[in-house]
Structure 1
């Protein structure tokens, strides 16, 4: 089996389970280790996955599914959740973040429960004294931005502000990063007439967008810096962002080819070491989406984001690190 080489510490890979042909959890962990992939994002506390992670030294983002948010707005339920899914494994599983909800939008039924669930989960890690090891956050997407172009004008929409502002405050209080899913693929395919494919794939030979003192050669940086600008306007200039998902589909839609996906992942891996213009020189903690193609996801592009096929063969020739 070809080996994907050493993965630098700024990167990880998301690991979904929406497939009926995926490797066992122990095989998955072994594949991470074989390829020196040191960080994993999982979307719910699957017992077999957590058992397989014991002693692996892989750092983990553990997700709280959106349909659990209402229950965890109750403090006792949050304490039980932490005891069962974190404390029970924390002696030899390296939890890095708990992502309380994924891409919850202000109008969603569960939106009102994100903040209390975050607070309760944070409070629940205090008793076992895990707050120095684990940070509690939530994963947003870039649709919460009302303005994203040019990046310096980035700001959260009027509808998102009442939702995101208290979340930002709790992250600042607890010195936790904001998790953000950043997809140049979807931004490009939503507007291919105005966005050049090279700009989305990190292959533009020159600056495409000059925004004051900052020049942008790729859309990933522009989206990330629009989020940073929005945080600055929200009074959180020092808050950091970890990119909790970014990827490109290899088939099933516009520009979804193995060639484009391979180009995107190779260039993303190389690029995140250096940081975006507004945080130049600071490596961007980034989780590639995703480890495997998942055949139970929605048809077309959603099934083809994997770096690996379900038989564990790599789809692309990538060199990490």
Structure 2
């Protein structure tokens, strides 16, 4: 499908078409009691030209619905499962048999995301940190043994791991996170995998609205905001991604590509969380990721928009329940 046809069918807008490759997918979360069935969701994605999806746990009904769909999948391992998968190779072998081998012939699973936003310096997830790398190693071994070694194994990281991110060239993982993330980066390099990053300009803006202007977060700044050597940054998304690239270089991960495993903007429930701002962010993001970043120009950046639907049972601040691109009745929000 032509690039812009796919993008704007997805956003529910009508625009001229331009041929090219699509770089955006969606995150399909299910922490809600009012969502369409998994087959209906897959059909929605097919109608809207969405051919990449991330799911956060291997629900059989979702994986069954994806059979033969042609949708390329990042399959998540929930944090609560990490200890079991790290404990013995047999646990990982069983997990891979049940959730990957069973579906691999007709579901395009290209990556396993082993844990989400685990951080040794975050009290909410620090208990899982010691299990991430062993679980990745065991799942990698199980995939190879099953003849599925082409499937990437990674973990989704947040900007919380960065001790420095300004200017982007000074991006570096914090001292408290290095002992956790450096061996993971070594694993990714050794296995020709990719670095998954969750990037949210929204949270950076509301955390420091004076210094992180709304226009900088929404891709609407009229000119360069941050000058960093040979590079100029007109939007915060680029700056955050390039800070990750700089941190990876300092940790031996120069060869790694980054895939944006989550990025989004809420339409309600918090400061700057409006329908207008969310529409502006998503629309500009979809356009922008085709161009790469100042540090990696002309290299389209695979990006998974968070999220397909509002999730009315998601914990946390009210804004967490308003990141959906579609209403539960499948009508586009924007």
1:222-256 CA-partner distances (Å, limit 9, x unpaired): 00000100011112111111000000000110000
Q: Does 1:12 align with 2:30?
A: no
Counterpart for residue 283 of structure 1: 300
* Shift of residue 192, structure 1, vs aligned partner: 0.2
**SS of the residue aligned with 1:113?**
helix
Structure 2 counterparts to residues 109-128 of structure 1, below 5 A: 109-128=127-146
**SS of the residue aligned with 2:291?**
coil
RMSD value, Cα: 1.3
Q: Does 1:301 align with 2:314?
A: no
**SS of the residue aligned with 1:272?**
helix
* Shift of residue 128, structure 1, vs aligned partner: 2.0
**Structure 1 gap ranges (5+):** 317-321
Counterpart for residue 99 of structure 1: 113
Alignment equivalent of 2:332, drawn from 292, 295, 314: 314
Tell me the distance in 2 between the aligned counterparts of 1:159 and 1:150. Answer: 20
Cα separation, partners in 2 of 1:174 and 1:198, compared to 1, 3 Å = same
**SS of the residue aligned with 1:12?**
strand
Tell me the distance in 2 between the aligned counterparts of 1:236 and 1:64. Answer: 23
Structure 2 counterparts to residues 249-264 of structure 1, below 5 A: 249-264=266-281
Q: Normalization by structure 1: what TM-score?
A: 0.96
**SS of the residue aligned with 1:279?**
coil
Cα separation, partners in 2 of 1:8 and 1:251, compared to 1, 3 Å = farther
Q: Which has the higher contact order (CA 8 A, sep 6+)?
A: 1
Asked if structure 1 preserves the Cα contact closer than 8 Å seen for 2:9 and 2:49, the reply is no
Asked if structure 1 preserves the Cα contact closer than 8 Å seen for 2:72 and 2:109, the reply is yes
Q: Does 1:155 align with 2:169?
A: no
Tell me the distance in 2 between the aligned counterparts of 1:227 and 1:50. Answer: 31
Counterpart for residue 94 of structure 2: 80
Tell me the distance in 2 between the aligned counterparts of 1:140 and 1:115. Answer: 13
* Shift of residue 3, structure 1, vs aligned partner: 4.3
Alignment equivalent of 1:28, drawn from 38, 41, 48: 41
**SS of the residue aligned with 1:308?**
coil
1:65-120 CA-partner distances (Å, limit 9, x unpaired): 00000000111000000000000000100001100000001141110010000000
Tell me the distance in 2 between the aligned counterparts of 1:236 and 1:20. Answer: 41
Structure 2 counterparts to residues 33-44 of structure 1, below 5 A: 33-44=46-57
Tell me the distance in 2 between the aligned counterparts of 1:100 and 1:300. Answer: 27
Counterpart for residue 104 of structure 2: 90
Structure 2 counterparts to residues 212-231 of structure 1, below 5 A: 212-231=229-248
Asked if structure 1 preserves the Cα contact closer than 8 Å seen for 2:186 and 2:252, the reply is no
Which stretch shifts more, 298-307 or 165-174?
298-307
Tell me the distance in 1 between the aligned counterparts of 2:57 and 2:306. Answer: 16
Alignment equivalent of 1:192, drawn from 189, 203, 209: 209
Asked if structure 1 preserves the Cα contact closer than 8 Å seen for 2:264 and 2:306, the reply is yes
State how many pairs are aligned.
314
Q: Normalization by structure 2: what TM-score?
A: 0.92
**SS of the residue aligned with 1:273?**
helix
